[in-house]
């Protein structure tokens, strides 16, 4: 097995060391193994006082027979829905074997395209898309938390992505609410998605979608709440929003770097890495951007952690009891973030009005 991992590692991401690549692959395999094992040997909910309904989170339920596989079925008193120990688990409804998921894990670490992954795993393109986002959804919930302690430093800045409606619009309910643009064509500021980024002295990072257009005070307070402890020292650019928000969060010190200074080189470097990561996929739909941000952070975590096994253990423990939130039907109708902007535009823009309401 070690020889196989070594051979696979030679084809992995160039920015990762061989040991980091092997650790990343072991982590993904551990997620899959732990999830499948937990399905086969599920505990009795009566022995777990923290067990709740996977749909509504209610702790009140009663036994209600057994399903076709012999698992105990329960009836939730909160949402009146039935569930078992396998309900809404990441691999509960999969018809694919363990070997297929393991091959897809290798493709996932290797950052292969969906078509390449589908070909190697012997599945359809639609199935590869769903497998990718199931893993990304698990990663998104299992990332280490970001926090800046008192007396410690961090850098904050925004990163902007063009709003993307990438996907099969012929099959979707909504079309593009604006005219198509070329890559070299300028884009209005309100047609860009703002991602607030941070990196602390320990090398921990965070990426969080903060809104449309420029960063607002309300969005900054919401994103940074709980991340900055009283007495933290923060470096930013000269944007006025930080001068107004950081004092309200009891930040110990605020250093605003002017044009040409080097106060936020660390976070600017992260922006460059993230742009290259997203470009690898020839653009990412705005409604899937959160998953890809988590993927980038997961990939980079193996470079900044002293032990990748420590992070793998954390992912395995959380994935063993984790549930998914988005079904296949929900993926097809996932709303675009901050779409209310285009609803307002439709009042005077015929193109947007036709896309949203289906009439000129």
- CA-to-CA distance for 181 and 186, rounded, in angstroms? 8
- Burial of 41 from C-beta contacts in 10 A (0-12 / 13-18 / 19+): exposed
Per-residue tens of pLDDT for the chain, all 360 residues: 444 444 444 444 455 666 766 777 766 666 666 555 454 444 444 445 567 887 787 888 888 888 776 778 888 988 888 887 777 776 666 778 777 877 887 788 778 889 999 999 999 999 999 888 888 887 777 677 788 888 888 899 999 998 888 876 665 556 788 887 776 666 677 889 999 999 988 888 889 999 998 899 999 999 998 888 888 888 898 888 998 888 888 887 788 775 555 678 888 898 999 999 998 888 888 999 999 998 898 887 766 554 545 544 544 455 445 566 777 777 777 888 888 888 888 888 888 888 877 755
Tokens of 77: 């008193």
Name, in order, each residue with C-beta under 8 angstroms of 304's C-beta and a sequence gap of 6 or more.
203, 204, 205
Instruction: Output the pLDDT for position 230.
Output: 84
Type and span of the H or E element at 75: strand 72-76
146, 203 Cβ separation under 8 angstroms: no
297, 303 Cβ separation under 8 angstroms: no
- Dihedral of alpha carbons 272, 233, 303, 193, sign: negative
Domain 153-284 has CATH 3.30.420.10: yes
Q: In Å, how far from its chain's centre is CA 107? A: 18
Instruction: Output the pLDDT for position 10.
Output: 47
Q: Look up the pTM and report it.
A: 0.77
């Amino acid at each position: 097995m070690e020889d196989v991992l070594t051979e696979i590692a030679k084809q992995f991401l160039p920015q990762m060391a061989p040991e980091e690549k092997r650790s990343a692959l072991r982590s993904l395999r551990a997620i899959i193994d732990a999830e499948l094992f937990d399905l086969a040997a599920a505990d009795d909910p009566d022995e777990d006082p923290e067990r709740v309904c996977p749909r509504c989170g209610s702790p009140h339920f009663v036994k209600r027979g057994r399903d076709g596989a012999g698992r105990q079925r329960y009836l939730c008193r909160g949402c009146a829905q039935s569930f078992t120990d396998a309900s809404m688990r990441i691999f509960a409804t999969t018809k694919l074997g363990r070997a297929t998921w393991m091959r897809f894990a290798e493709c996932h670490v290797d950052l292969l395209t969906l078509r390449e992954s589908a070909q190697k795993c012997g599945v359809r393109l639609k199935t590869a898309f769903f497998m990718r986002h199931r893993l990304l959804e698990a990663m998104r919930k299992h990332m280490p938390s970001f926090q800046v302690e008192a007396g410690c430093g961090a850098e904050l800045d925004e990163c902007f992505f063009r709003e993307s409606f990438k996907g099969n619009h012929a099959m979707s309910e909504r079309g593009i609410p604006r005219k198509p643009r070329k890559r070299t064509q300028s884009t209005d500021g309100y047609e860009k998605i703002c991602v607030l980024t941070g990196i602390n002295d320990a090398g921990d990072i965070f990426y969080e979608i903060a809104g449309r257009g420029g960063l607002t005070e309300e969005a900054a307070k919401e994103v940074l709440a709980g991340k900055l402890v009283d007495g933290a020292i923060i470096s930013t650019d000269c944007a006025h929003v930080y001068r107004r928000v950081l004092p309200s969060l009891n930040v110990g010190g605020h250093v605003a770097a002017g044009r040409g200074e080097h106060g936020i080189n660390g976070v600017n470097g992260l922006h460059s890495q993230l742009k290259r990561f997203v470009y690898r996929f020839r653009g990412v739909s705005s409604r899937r951007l959160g998953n890809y941000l988590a993927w980038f952070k997961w990939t980079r975590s193996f470079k900044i952690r002293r032990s990748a096994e420590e992070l793998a253990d954390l992912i395995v423990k959380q994935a063993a009891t984790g549930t998914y939130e988005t079904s296949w039907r929900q993926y097809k109708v996932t709303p675009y973030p901050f779409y209310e902007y285009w609803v307002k535009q439709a009042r005077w823009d015929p193109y947007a009005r036709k896309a949203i309401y289906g009439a000129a």
